[in-house]
Every structure is written in structure tokens, then in C-alpha cells.
């Protein structure tokens, strides 16, 4: 009798063990995949946005204390820090580069805006942007376009501002030029509001260049 019971238990253990191992392996692979995604190389080289341009971006977006600002590719955190200090709003900076995350967190601490600003190491192309009212960008044109499906999920009336680069296929509401004393050159700032005004590809570039404040 005891031998039969022991044999049955042993058989069940052999059946369950591979299933548990498979589950643990799958969970481990899932964690490793997520970590790899969050640690992938940046899509652009970090170039700081001059402070005059930062100010104009936030001004053009008409940021208020009630807004939630997302900076996609936050660099050293200057945009989210400025938004919090100047407008008293909440802001979140996202980046995949550990060095940029460190610099941003130091900037947040230095300016004592920890209660308003958080910095997260995440892939911006996998984010849910729907909670934000304002999105700030300094990415390449192709990356702006890649974000369109996510930007289309923003609440109506949300504002998107981009430093230097337009968004092919979408007509901006405004385009202004800012003269920077930091690098002694002009910088374009584009503004879009949701819902986005989609255009035919062959028309979008001409219209973007023709927009005036």
C-alpha cells in the first residue's frame, strides 16, 4: 500500500516539476526581455535644448499648474524641471540612457522639485501617453512620426511641442523661431494640439514650412 502511494506521489512530482520549471523559465525570460527593452541604446544622441527654447516650448504649450507634462527623451531633465519650477505642474521625464537618468535625477534634486517631478527609465515608444496634457519632444523627424499612434490617444486639447523637428503627415498649429544666445543660432519650435490634423504626405512638408505664429 505504502509503495503504491509513494509511487503515485513520485509520478505526480515528475509531472508537476517540468510544468513549474517551464513557468519559472517563462517568467525569467519575460523579466530579462523587459530589462533588455528598457536598457536598449538611445535612438538619438543627447544634445541639450537651450534654456530659451525650453521656455518657449512651455510657453507655446500654454502650460498651467493643472497640467501633466511628459518629456520623451528627457536628457538632463531641464524641461521637466523648468515646467515644475515655473508653472508648479507635475512632470515626468522618460529616457533609456542610464547616464541621462542619473543627470536628470540630480537636476531634480538640485532644484528641489522632487514632489512634482519623476524620472523613469523607459522606452518611450511603449508608453501610454493618455494621462498627459502636454508632450515635449526633441527627437528626429522619423521618431516623431513613429510616435503618432501614441499621440493620437491623447485627450482632446492636449498639446505637443517639438524642438527643431516637424512631424511629417501632421500639420502644426504654430511654428515659431527662437534665437538662442547659448549657441547663437535660430531654433524652430512646433506646436500641435489634439486631435491631430493629418495631411497627405506630399503636402505636409510644404504646409509645415508655411505655418507662421
pLDDT single digits (tens) 180-208? 998 889 999 999 999 999 987 556 555 55
* Torsional sign, CA 176, 125, 42, 38: positive
CA atoms of 20 and 48, how far apart (whole Å): 49
- What confidence score (pLDDT) does residue 38 get? 47
Q: Is 56 helix (H, G, I), strand (E, B) or coil?
A: helix
pLDDT single digits (tens) 88-143? 999 999 999 999 999 999 999 999 999 999 999 999 999 999 999 999 999 999 99
CA atoms of 151 and 173, how far apart (whole Å): 15
Rounding to the nearest 10 degrees, give the CA dihedral for residues 204, 205, 206, 207.
Answer: 50
Model's pTM, two decimal places? 0.77
CA atoms of 20 and 6, how far apart (whole Å): 21
pLDDT single digits (tens) 17-41? 454 444 554 455 554 455 544 456 6
What backbone torsions phi and psi does residue 199 show, to the nearest 5 degrees?
-130, 165
Of residues 157 and 1, more confidence is placed in: 157
> Which superfamily does CATH assign the domain made up of 51-210 to?
Vaccinia Virus protein VP39 (3.40.50.150)
Amino acid at each position: 500500500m505504502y509503495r503504491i502511494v509513494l509511487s503515485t506521489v513520485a509520478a505526480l512530482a515528475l509531472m508537476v516539476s517540468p510544468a513549474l520549471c517551464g513557468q519559472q523559465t517563462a517568467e525569467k525570460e519575460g523579466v530579462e526581455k523587459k530589462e533588455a527593452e528598457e536598457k536598449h541604446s538611445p535612438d538619438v544622441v543627447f544634445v541639450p535644448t537651450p534654456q530659451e527654447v525650453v521656455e518657449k516650448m512651455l510657453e507655446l504649450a500654454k502650460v498651467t499648474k493643472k497640467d501633466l507634462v511628459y518629456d520623451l527623451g528627457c536628457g538632463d531633465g531641464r524641461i521637466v524641471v523648468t515646467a515644475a519650477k515655473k508653472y508648479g505642474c507635475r512632470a515626468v521625464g522618460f529616457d533609456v540612457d542610464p547616464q541621462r537618468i542619473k543627470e536628470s535625477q540630480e537636476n531634480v534634486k538640485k532644484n528641489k522639485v522632487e514632489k512634482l517631478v519623476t524620472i523613469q527609465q523607459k522606452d518611450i515608444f511603449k508608453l501610454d501617453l493618455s494621462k498627459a496634457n502636454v508632450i515635449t519632444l526633441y527627437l528626429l523627424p522619423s521618431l516623431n512620426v513613429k510616435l503618432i499612434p501614441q499621440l493620437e490617444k491623447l485627450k482632446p486639447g492636449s498639446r505637443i511641442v517639438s524642438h527643431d523637428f516637424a512631424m511629417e503627415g501632421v500639420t502644426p498649429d504654430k511654428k515659431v523661431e527662437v534665437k538662442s544666445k547659448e549657441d547663437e543660432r535660430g531654433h524652430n519650435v512646433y506646436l500641435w494640439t489634439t486631435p491631430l490634423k493629418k495631411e497627405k504626405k506630399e503636402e505636409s512638408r510644404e504646409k509645415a514650412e508655411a505655418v507662421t505664429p
